[in-house]
Structure 1
Amino acid sequence: FTGGATQMIGSIIAQNINLNPPVAAAYSMIPIFFIVIYLMVARRTGSLERM
């Protein structure tokens, strides 16, 4: 695959899922955290009610 020199979080999770499941689980919490924060902000601003 083509891409930059940096790794994305999904690639890191996929590489660690068989070798070190606790690390993969910890890394998978990062996107979940950002999604929860985004939804909290969207709820507070009233964006969800206007849909």
Structure 2
Amino acid sequence: MKFLEKVRCWLGKHPNAEAFLWFVFAAACIAILVWFLLFSGYGDPPEFVYEQF
């Protein structure tokens, strides 16, 4: 708990760093969403097991 209080206090004194961290967090969430929707194969029809043999 003491560590979190120190971090919150430091971020309160440095609003630019806090804004940058929020931006990085939001960008990471958007990147994960884009990967999931575009590159993960979500929504592709299922492949039947018997066609692979």
TM-score, with length taken from structure 2: 0.50
5+ residue gaps in structure 2?
Answer: 45-53
- Which of the numbers 36, 39, 43 marks the counterpart of 1:42? 36
Cα deviation 1:3-48 (Å, max 9, x = unaligned): xxxxxxxx85x331x201111101121111111000001111353x
- Which of the numbers 23, 26, 34 marks the counterpart of 1:32? 26
5+ residue gaps in structure 1?
Answer: 2-10
Q: Percent identity?
A: 11
TM-score, with length taken from structure 1: 0.52
Name the structure where helix makes up a greater proportion of residues: 2
Q: RMSD in angstroms over aligned alpha carbons?
A: 2.9
Specify which structure has the bigger relative contact order, considering alpha-carbon pairs within 8 angstroms and separated by 6 or more residues.
1
Aligned residues: 40
Runs of 4+ with >4 A deviation:
none
